[in-house]
Structure 1
Amino acid sequence: MIDVGVVMPVYKQKPAFLEAALNSVRRQSYRNFKLIIVIDGAPEMEPLVRQFLGGDCRAEVVSLAFNQGVAGALNTGFKHLQRFSDIKYWTWVSSDNIYYPSYLETLRGKLSKGPKELGLVYSSFQCIDDDGKPINSEQQLAAQRQYQSQAKDLLLDSSIIGVSFMYKARYAGLIDGYGLAPVEDYDYWLRLTEHCEIKYIPVELMDYRVDSAFSVSATLRSHEKHREWRYAYHLARHNARMRRGMAPLITILFPLKESGDEAVRRIENLYEQTFSNYLCYVLDLSADMRVTADLSRISHPVTDFKWFPNTGGTTALLHAAQMVQSPYSYVLGQQSFKDSMDLTVMFNQMEKAPASVLSDYYTDDHKQVNYRYTSEPNHKPRIQDELFRRQSLADYMKANFMTMSDPE
C-alpha cells in the first residue's frame, strides 16, 4: 500500500543536478510512495523530467502555466496528493539535493512507530558543493546535530528542522498550506508544530547542495534580497508568538536625531541578532520626521516610530522608558553588537541574576558581562547598550536625569 507522498517542485535546474535528485528518490529502499513533480512555469524542464523518470509509474508530472514560486508549487503538489486517502506521510524534496536510499524508510519508520501526537520528524544532513564534495567535517556535523537537537520550544528562535523531514498528512490538514516566501518551510513548521510534537533523528539522511545556481539561497545573496528574507523570518516568529499569546520580553529604545549610514548600519545590526522576541521603538528626535521616513524603508515587523520633535534624547528616553510594558528594556547606542548572540546572552544572564541587579552589559573588550547593582556605585557613565529591568531603567533615569547627557 502506498502511504508516503513526495512532492518535488522544479523551476530551472542544471540537468545533472535534476537527474541526480530524481534518481536518488527513485532508488529509495522504501518503495511504496507517490512522487508528484510540479513543473513551476518552466516548460523546457518537462522533457528532461520525463526522460530522467524513465517511465516510473510511481511518479506524476504536473505542469503550471506560469511560475508560482516554491510555496505555490508545493501547495499544488500536496493538493494532488490529497486524492490518495491511503497516503499518511508527506515530505517534499528539492531538485538539486541527493537523498540517501534510507531517507524515506527512516523518516517514515520513526513517524509510524511513534506516539499519535508525534507529527513531524527530521534528521541531520551533509552539505555538498556543486561537485558533490562534502563540506562539513565530522566536528561540524557534530555541532549541527547538537544545534538541531534543541527542544521544540526553541523552534521559535531558529529553524532547527532544516532540510530533511517528513510529517503526518493529518496534521498538515489542520493548517493552511505553504506561504510567506522566502521562509516557506520555517513558517510552515511553526504553524504545524502548534498541533503536534516533533522528533529529531541524529543521523545524516541526505546531501544538501549549498548555494547552487538555481537554489533559493542563491537568490538571497544581494543586500536587498537579504532584507526581504530577514523581514519574513522575523515576521514568521512574530506571527507565531501572536498566535500563542506570547508578549515581547524586551523593548528596544533607539533615540536618533538624524538618519544616515551609521543609523541604518546600527539598526540592521540589531535585526541580525538571534534574539527576536522584542519590540523596537525608534525615538525620532528630528524636526521633520526624517528619521522615521528613512528608517521605515527597512521593513521590520516589530519596529515602531515615536516622534519627539524639539526634544532632547534624554527627555525622550525618560518618557519612553515609562511606557515600556515588557520585563526588560535596552537603550540602543552607537556600539554595534559584536556577536549575533549578544542580546540572547544578556537576556539569559538577567533571567538568572538576583533582584539586586538592575542591568547587565558587555565590557568594552567584549570578554564578559558586567552588572549594575542597586546598592553599589557603577563606573559605566552611560546607559546605552545595556539591558535593564523594566522599572529599573525608569527609576534610574528619574534619579539621575539632571546629570545625564543626551545620547550622541
Structure 2
Amino acid sequence: MKVGVVLPVFNQEPQYIFECIQSLQNQTFRQFKLAIVIDGANAETVNAVYEASQVLTIPFQIINRTENQGIAYTLNEGFSYLTDCPYLTWVSSDNRHYPEFLQALVKTMDSTPKEIVLVYSLYHRINEEGINVSNSEEMHQFMTSLMRRPKEQIYSVCFLGASFLFRRQAFEKAGGYRNKFPIAQDHDFWMRILQHGDIYFLEKYLMEYRVNGKYSLTTLTPSEDLILESMRSSIDNRKTIQDIPKVSVLLTSYNQCKYIDHAIESVLNQTFTNFHLIAVDDGSTDGTQEIIYQKKDSRLIGLFLNHRGKAHALNAGLEFCLGEYVLELDGDDWLDPQTLDIMVREMDKQPPNVGLTYANRKLWNQVGEKLIEGPIIPGLNYGDKYDVLSNLQTHCPRLYRKSALKSIGGWKRFIDGQPAILDDFLMFLDLAEKYDFHWINGALYHQRRHEKNITLIQQEEISSEIQKIVHAKIKEWGNEYIPEFIFNEGSLVKVDLRPRGLS
C-alpha cells in the first residue's frame, strides 16, 4: 500500500467516530491501509470504534490498548504497523475528510521533488454540530496567508494545520513523535521533520477540523498552556539546530495595538541581526495579539498570556531567552536601528561583574496621530547601590547579562503582598546589590508618552510604592540610613540619605 493512515482514539463522542471512519471509507484513493489505535479509551468509545469500522473495505487493523499512553506514543505505535507504506498521515477521531483528501495529497507528493518531505493543504473548521464556521473570504485570506510561509517559520508558529501527508523516510529520520511536549507534539514533530526536507502547500480545502469538541485537546487545555508548551518545544528544537542568539529582545505589551507594529519592526530592522525577539503579550483584548501572530520572521517567539501584569510577563518571557544578553522593550516604544549593535559591543568589553548596561532615551509625545519630539533623558553613572536608591531613576534601553537576571530571580511581582508597579526600579536595586552598571552616553531608545502611560496616571501610587521600596531596602541593607523624600510638584523625585546617628 502506498499510504499508511493512523487513527488514534481516546475518549470521543461516538457520532464523531462514525463520521471520521466513514470519511476514510469514502476516499477515492484506495491504495492505503489504516491502523486504528485505541489509547485506553472508555467502553463507549471502544464499542463505537468496532461498530463504525464495520463499514471499512480497505485493509485495517484495530490495536486496542487498555492503558492510556498519550498521543505521541499512540501515533508511533500505529506507524509501526505501517512500515511498508512510503507515505504517512494521521487523522483525529473527531475530524472529517473530503473524499479527495488522500487523492490530492498523494498526487501532489508524487509530483514534487524528493526534497519535499511534507505536503499540506487548507481545511475548514466545523463546530460541535458539524457546521462549517470558517466559510468566508476573510477567513480564506487569513488561512492562506498563515499557511503560505517558508519552512523556517515553523519555529515561530505552527502553521501547517491538520491536513497533511509526509514521507516515511523523513518520519524515521526525525525519530517519530515524542512525549517530551505532550500537548504540542504536532508542532514539535513538524520542527524536527522539516530539518530533513522542505514543504509544499496545496491551496485546496481537503478536510474539516472540528473545534470546541467535548474531548478536543484545544478544548480541554487552556490556550496559554498550549502556546507556552509549543514555544518550549520551539526553544528545545532551536537548541538542537544551534539557533542560539547573542541577544534575546524581551518585548512586553498590553493593549497596544496602535503601537506594537512599530515596536516589533524596530527590532526586526536592527543592524545587528543575531537575536531572537520574545514578544510577550499580557492578555490584550484590542487586537495586539493578532498583529504579533501575523509577523513573518523566524526570529520571533510569540507568547500570549492571561493578564497578570508586566512583571509576570517579563518573567514568563525570560524562560525563552537563549541569548547571553537580554534587552527589555515596552510595546509602545521603539529602538534606534543601531541599538543592539552599539550595546552588544559595549557589553562585550565589560568585565563579568557588570550585570547591566544602559543608554539615554529620547521622549516623544503622542498627541492624537502625531508624534511630537521631546527631550533626551540622559543616563547616570552610579557609585554604589545607595546611589541607585537615592536617585530614583531607571534608564532605557536596558541590556542585561542574562546570568545576572537569573541570579536575582527575575523581576519582582509584589510589594507587601500587592502587585508592584515599579518592576524596573526594583530590578535596578536588586542588580545593584550584586553587580556594577555601565552607562552608554547615546540616545538609543525612543519612549512614547501618551495618555495610558502608567507614569502619567498613577503618580500617587508610584510615590507611595517608592517610599515602601526605599524603607524596605534600607532595612534589608543594614538600616544605616534615614531617608528624606524630596518632592517636586507632587511627584517624588529624589531621596536624601542621612546616616543614622547624625543630627
Tell me if both proteins adopt one fold, taking TM over 0.5 as the criterion.
Answer: yes
RMSD of Structure 2 on Structure 1 (CA) = 4.6
Does the alignment pair 1:269 with 2:282? yes
- Per the alignment, in what secondary structure is the counterpart of residue 162 of structure 2? coil
Greater Cα offset, 119-128 or 130-139: 130-139
> What is the identity, as a one-letter code, of the residue corresponding to 1:12?
N
Whether the 8 Å contact between 1:211 and 1:218 is mirrored in structure 2 is yes
1:138 CA drift (Å): 2.0
1:68 CA drift (Å): 1.1
Structure 1 residues 200 and 395, CA, compared in 2 at 3 Å: closer, same or farther? farther
> What is the identity, as a one-letter code, of the residue corresponding to 1:140?
M
Corresponding residue for 1:69?
Answer: 70
Whether the 8 Å contact between 1:350 and 1:359 is mirrored in structure 2 is no
Corresponding residue for 1:162?
Answer: 161
Corresponding residue for 1:207?
Answer: 208
**1:232-251 map, 5 Å:** 232-248=229-245, 249-251=247-249
1:142 CA drift (Å): 1.6
CA–CA distance in 1 between the matches of 2:206 and 2:362?
A: 42
Whether the 8 Å contact between 2:250 and 2:314 is mirrored in structure 1 is no
Structure 1 residues 365 and 389, CA, compared in 2 at 3 Å: closer, same or farther? farther
**1:234-383 map, 5 Å:** 234-248=231-245, 249-252=247-250, 269=282, 301-302=319-320, 325-326=324-325, 329-331=327-329, 337=331, 350=337, 377-378=375-376
1:43 CA drift (Å): 5.1
1:46 CA drift (Å): 2.6
Whether the 8 Å contact between 1:124 and 1:204 is mirrored in structure 2 is yes
Whether the 8 Å contact between 1:10 and 1:37 is mirrored in structure 2 is yes
Corresponding residue for 1:315?
Answer: none
Corresponding residue for 2:131?
Answer: 133
State percent identity of aligned pairs.
24
Does the alignment pair 1:53 with 2:39? no
CA–CA distance in 1 between the matches of 2:66 and 2:363?
A: 55
Corresponding residue for 1:151?
Answer: 150
Larger Rg: 2
Whether the 8 Å contact between 1:359 and 1:389 is mirrored in structure 2 is no
1:385 CA drift (Å): 8.1
- Per the alignment, in what secondary structure is the counterpart of residue 80 of structure 1? coil
Whether the 8 Å contact between 1:13 and 1:95 is mirrored in structure 2 is yes
- Structure 2 residue runs without a partner (length 5+): 253-278, 302-310, 343-358, 380-392, 402-436, 445-461, 467-503
- Per the alignment, in what secondary structure is the counterpart of residue 38 of structure 2? strand
CA–CA distance in 2 between the matches of 1:395 and 1:130?
A: 58
Whether the 8 Å contact between 1:350 and 1:360 is mirrored in structure 2 is no
Structure 1 residues 42 and 150, CA, compared in 2 at 3 Å: closer, same or farther? same
**Higher-strand-fraction structure:** 2
CA–CA distance in 2 between the matches of 1:172 and 1:371?
A: 56
Corresponding residue for 1:36?
Answer: 35
- Per the alignment, in what secondary structure is the counterpart of residue 126 of structure 1? strand
1:97 CA drift (Å): 0.7
CA–CA distance in 1 between the matches of 2:367 and 2:339?
A: 20
Question: Could you give the per-residue CA deviations for residues 326-370 of structure 1, whole angstroms, max 9, x where no partner exists?
Answer: 5x72256xxxx58xxx9xxx68x9499999xx9999978699898
Question: Could you give the per-residue CA deviations for residues 272-324 of structure 1, whole angstroms, max 9, x where no partner exists?
Answer: 86589589xxxxxxxxxxxx9x99996974369xxxxxxxxxxxxxxxxxxx8
CA–CA distance in 1 between the matches of 2:121 and 2:210?
A: 16
1:141 CA drift (Å): 1.4
CA–CA distance in 2 between the matches of 1:132 and 1:301?
A: 39
- Per the alignment, in what secondary structure is the counterpart of residue 172 of structure 1? helix
1:23 CA drift (Å): 0.5
Structure 1 residues 151 and 267, CA, compared in 2 at 3 Å: closer, same or farther? closer
Corresponding residue for 1:181?
Answer: 182
Corresponding residue for 1:229?
Answer: 226
CA–CA distance in 1 between the matches of 2:60 and 2:168?
A: 19
Match of 1:108 among 106, 109, 127: 106
CA–CA distance in 2 between the matches of 1:34 and 1:92?
A: 11
CA–CA distance in 2 between the matches of 1:178 and 1:9?
A: 13
1:250 CA drift (Å): 2.3
Corresponding residue for 1:24?
Answer: 23
> What is the identity, as a one-letter code, of the residue corresponding to 1:122?
Y
Structure 1 residues 128 and 245, CA, compared in 2 at 3 Å: closer, same or farther? same
Structure 1 residues 114 and 399, CA, compared in 2 at 3 Å: closer, same or farther? closer
CA–CA distance in 1 between the matches of 2:183 and 2:363?
A: 34
Question: Could you give the per-residue CA deviations for residues 350-396 of structure 1, whole angstroms, max 9, x where no partner exists?
Answer: 499999xx999997869989899xxx953799877868899xx9644
> What is the identity, as a one-letter code, of the residue corresponding to 1:195?
H
> What is the identity, as a one-letter code, of the residue corresponding to 1:105?
Q
> What is the identity, as a one-letter code, of the residue corresponding to 1:104?
L
- Per the alignment, in what secondary structure is the counterpart of residue 173 of structure 1? helix
> What is the identity, as a one-letter code, of the residue corresponding to 1:123?
S
Question: Could you give the per-residue CA deviations for residues 181-226 of structure 1, whole angstroms, max 9, x where no partner exists?
Answer: 10010000000000011011111111111120011111113xxxx4
Whether the 8 Å contact between 2:363 and 2:377 is mirrored in structure 1 is no
Structure 1 residues 359 and 155, CA, compared in 2 at 3 Å: closer, same or farther? farther
